[in-house]
Every structure is written in C-alpha cells, then in structure tokens.
Amino acid sequence: MTKIVYIEHTGKSHSLDVQNGLTVMEGAIQNNIPGIDADCGGSMACATCHVYVKEEWFNKLPKKEDGEEDMLDMAFEPNKFSRLSCQLTVTDDLEGLVVQLPSKQA
Amino acid sequence: MIKTDALIIGAGPTGLFTAHQLKLIGLSCEVVDNLDKIGGQCIELYPDKPIYDIPAIPECTGEELTNNLLDQLKPFNIKFHLNERVEEVKKNNDNWEVKTNKGTLFNTPNIVIAGGVGSFEPRKFSPKECEKFENKSILYSIKDKTIFNNKTVSIFGGGDSALDWAIELSKNSKVNLIHRRDEFRGAVSTVNEMKALTKNGKINLFTKYQLKSIKGSEKLESINIEHDNKELKTLKTDYVLGFFGLIMQLGPIANWGLNLDKKTIKVDTEKFETNQKGIYAVGDICHYPGKLKLILSGFHEGALAARACFKLAKPKEKYRFEFTTSSKTIKDRLGKKND
C-alpha cells in the first residue's frame, strides 16, 4: 500500500492507501473520488483522468510515454504539471504523491 | 413513424453484434448513432490501436474489428441512422416512442442502449463566456468555409483538424494558430506545410498559449491568450475555432427515467433490462455486479438482450434456441445454402 493524496478542485483532500500495481486513476475510481471520470477505462484514449502533479513530485515520476502528451492536448485546462493518472502506476516510490484534480474533466 | 422490433442506440461493436443477434433470431432492428460513421469508440478513439482480447482473433485494430462486424452483418439489411442522437423516449401503450434530434420517429417494443459512455460531442473551450458565441463565432466544426473569407480566424489545437483548417483557411483569411505546446501531433507533412506557411507570414503561430478569455458584447471582438509563463496577448478576431477532439457525454439518456449509477445504467444479468420494461443496456454503458468493460462482455450482453426482445416483439410466438451450424431457418436468414 502506498499513500496517495488527491486534492479536489474545491481544496478538499483525500489521503488514500492505494495498492501497489494499481494506477493513480484506479485508486481514485475505486474509492469514489469525485473529479476523475476515466471514461475510456485506462487505455489512454480520452484524457478524462487528468491531474496536476505537485511541482516537487513532477520530475520524480516516470516520464510520459508516447501518446500521453498528445492526449493531454485534449484535456480540460492542461498545464506543464499535467499528467494522465491512468499512466501513473503506484509503487513504493510514490509514497505521499500529491495530485490536484481539475475543476472538471471536459 | 418507423415501426421496428428493436431500436439499437449506438453503432459500436456491441450495438453491431446485438443487431446481428436480433436479425439471426428473426427480429427487425434499426440503429441510431450520433457519429457520422459506424464503429463507436473503436473508430473514434483507437482505429489504429491493436486489440488482443477478442476471442479467436489474436490481434486486430479498432477499424478491423468494425469492418469484420459489418461483414458479419452483410446478409442482413440493417438501416443505420448516423449523425442522429436520440433525444426523447416516451411510453405509448405497450411500446416506446423514440424521437431523434433530426425528428426521426420510431415506434418499438424494445430499445437496446449500446451507448458506450454516451454520445461523442466536441470538447469545448473552458471560459464560460464562450457559450454565448457558440455556433455563431465560436465553432467546433465547419460547415461552410466561405464565411471565413477575408476575416480573421483564430484556430486552437495541435492535431490534424486544426492544422488542415489552418492551412486551408490561410488561402482566404488571416489565420492565427494557437497550441499549448511546441509539438504538433498532426501528420509530419501537414506540420511541415503549416511551418512553411508560418515562415511566409500566411499563418501567425502562437505556441505554449491557451485561450484565457474572450471579449465582445453583440459580436466577438478579441480574445486573450495566455502563455505558459502567464504572459497575456490580445488578438483581434472574427471567428474562433476549437479542435480538441471529442468527448463522451451521457446526454439525453439521463432523462429517460433509468436507474443510473454515475455514467452507467443498472441492469439485471438475465435480460440486461433496465428498470424500464423493454429498455435494455449492453456494453460499456451497463452496470451489474462483476461487470467487465470488455468488448467480449458486450457481445454476450447483446446476445441475451436480443432474446429478451423476442418476447416483447412476438408475444404470441415461443422463442426456440437454435445453433447456426444446424438450423435451416437461420441458414435461410443468412442466405446460406442448406445441404
């Protein structure tokens, strides 16, 4: 289990223990965190699991694979700290990761 | 008014196979889809991505899967109503009356919702005030390009649609092309052509910018775009075009009195019927304990929903289970010779 902190657009914070191997998106969906839609179910085809990663965390994450940046073009209000949470697999290295959720996904 | 034994909403893989199952057991059906093409998410989201978990097909792309399903439907004459979205569903005696946004009316005892995650709609700009100018000077698709002649057009996006239109409209209009990063995901040749036009001053390119706000009371006057480093620029413009791809929205389905759980519809696992008699949900849009969002699950759900349709479409007949390998009736329906 790894602690992941999800902060809703309103500022409401959810600190969850997510099983290693799941994605940050799945952690949110399984715990009914509002603000992550994940319409396509994690196949990097919809950009509705978009999150902003806290700056201090952003460079510690595995780099984006081909295609993720393309999908982020379609996300709602992306910025340079944007990631798709379906592409972030939870490991011990992510202990304490903080992600902020956009005001909406589309 | 079109009378049919079953109306399928959604022409994705699940909708297509459900149509096959309905026709195989001798029912009529028609299909409505909001997209301009058949295939649903397979065609719209991942036509080129390989899929590895369709039973007996080791590998195929979304487009190949769609084409194979259409091949399988060839023996049957199925009417597709593309570019149409179902708006209203009303009870009329024992049947359902269904109306699309284009005014097409259906009367049917059975509606099978195979709607994926809803209908595809264009993704829109985030500033709220954009709604006021939508379909007037802020557009997400182009019907008549001549309206842009000798005007200033600001195009947002980094894919082929944005690039193709920037190149095309630069012939007769002043074009601003705005994108959130330096890389474009369009075809290499298109990106090069756009860059050449930028050098010649035919296209004004702004990268690392996004739309911040718009100005104008009656008529759109200008837009503010914001750089990654927060610097603002004002551009005078007559039209704004946004090409951010499509998003799935549940849309009018939310108003049909169905038992919804977030963006999914609760069904039983015998008939895949919703809380409304004669309305079924199959594929990604349905939910039940243990539901898997796999294409193969959609096929199974459609097959069972089709059998349930039979009871309401032909209440006086008894449904007989038959195999395609041995049934003469089914072979006749498929146009196959009987030995």
Q: What is the DSSP string of B161-223?
A: HHHHHHHHHTTTSEEEEEESSS---S-HHHHHHHHHHHHTTSEEEEESEEEEEEE-SSS--EE
Is A106 part of any domain? Answer: no
Within-domain flag for B280: yes
> What's B26's domain CATH number?
3.50.50.60
B179 near A CB under 8 A = yes
Tell me the pairing of strands B232-236 and B222-227.
antiparallel
* Chain A CB contacts of B119 below 8 Å: none
- CB count, 10 Å around CB of B118? 21
How many domains are contained in chain B? 2
Q: Is residue B71 part of a domain?
A: yes
Q: Within this chain, do residues B225 and B163 fall inside the same structural domain, yes or no? A: yes
Chain B contact present for A74, CB below 8 A: yes
Cα B165 from Cα B137, distance rounded (Å): 16
Last residue of a domain, one of B206, B229, B244: B244
Domain membership flag for residue A105 = no
SS3 assignment, position B110: strand
**Which residues of chain B does A48 touch, with a Cβ-Cβ cutoff of 8 Å?**
247
Q: Which single residue is written with the structure tokens 């019907």?
A: B143
Taking contacts as CB-CB distances below 8 angstroms, the residues of chain B near A80 are 228
Asked if B263 and A37 come within 8 Å (Cβ–Cβ), the reply is yes
* CB-nearest partner of B126 from A40, A45, A77: A77
Residue A18 lies in a domain: yes
Task: Report the residue of chain B nearest A77, measured CA to CA.
Answer: B126
The sign of the CA dihedral B299, B303, B308, B311 is positive
* B179 chain-A contacts, CB cut-off 8 A: 73
d(CA B11, CA B2): 18
- Given 3-state DSSP classes, what are the helix, strand and coil percentages for chain B, each rounded to the nearest 5? 25, 30, 40
The number of distinct structural domains making up chain A is 1
User: Nearest-CA residue of chain A relative to B45?
Assistant: A45
- Same domain, yes or no: B267 and B211: no
Contact check, Cβ <8 Å, A43/B49: yes
pLDDT tens digit string along B162-191? 999 999 999 999 999 999 999 999 899 999
Classify the phi-psi angles of B135: left when phi > 0, otherwise alpha if psi is within -120 to 50, otherwise beta.
Answer: left
Among B244, B265, B295, identify where a domain stops.
B244
Domain housing B97: 2-121+247-334
Structure tokens at B185: 């995901």
Examine the domain organization and report whether B100 and B143 are in the same domain. no
**What does the pLDDT read at residue B339?**
63
Which of the listed residues B244, B275, B302 is the one where a domain comes to its end? Answer: B244
Give the Cα separation of B14 and B8 in Å (integer): 10
CATH of the domain at A71: 3.10.20.30
Phi first, then psi, for residue B270 (nearest 5°) are -95, -50
Same domain for B256 and B238, yes or no, is no
- Which chain A residue has the Cα nearest residue B230? A79
Residue A61 maps to a domain: yes
What contacts 24+ positions apart, CB below 8 Å, involve A31-39?
Answer: A33/A6, A33/A8, A33/A101, A34/A8, A35/A6, A35/A8, A35/A9, A35/A101, A35/A102, A35/A104, A35/A105, A36/A6, A36/A85, A36/A101, A36/A105, A37/A105, A37/A106, A37/B263, A38/A85, A38/A86, A39/B117, A39/B247, A39/B248, A39/B263
Q: What is the pLDDT along chain B (339 residues), one digit of tens a residue?
A: 999 999 999 999 999 999 999 999 999 999 999 999 999 989 887 888 899 999 999 999 999 999 999 999 999 999 999 999 999 999 999 999 999 999 999 999 999 999 998 888 899 999 999 999 999 999 998 889 999 999 999 999 999 999 999 999 999 999 999 999 999 998 999 999 999 999 999 999 999 999 999 999 889 999 999 999 999 999 999 999 999 988 888 889 989 999 998 789 999 999 999 999 999 999 999 999 999 999 999 999 999 999 999 999 999 999 999 999 999 999 999 999 866
Please give the distance of CA B167 from its chain centroid, rounded to a whole number. Answer: 27
Q: Would B339 be classed as within a structural domain? A: no
> pLDDT tens-digit profile of B118-127?
888 899 999 9
**What range does the domain containing A89 cover?**
2-100
What's the distance, Cα to Cα, between the start and end of chain B in Å? 40
Is B123 at the interface with chain A, CB within 8 A?
yes
**Residue of B208, B213, B228, B248 for testing the chain A interface, max A β-carbons within 10 Å:** B248
Please indicate, yes or no, if residue B177 is contained in any of the structural domains. yes
Q: Are B89 and B36 in contact (CB under 8 A)?
A: no
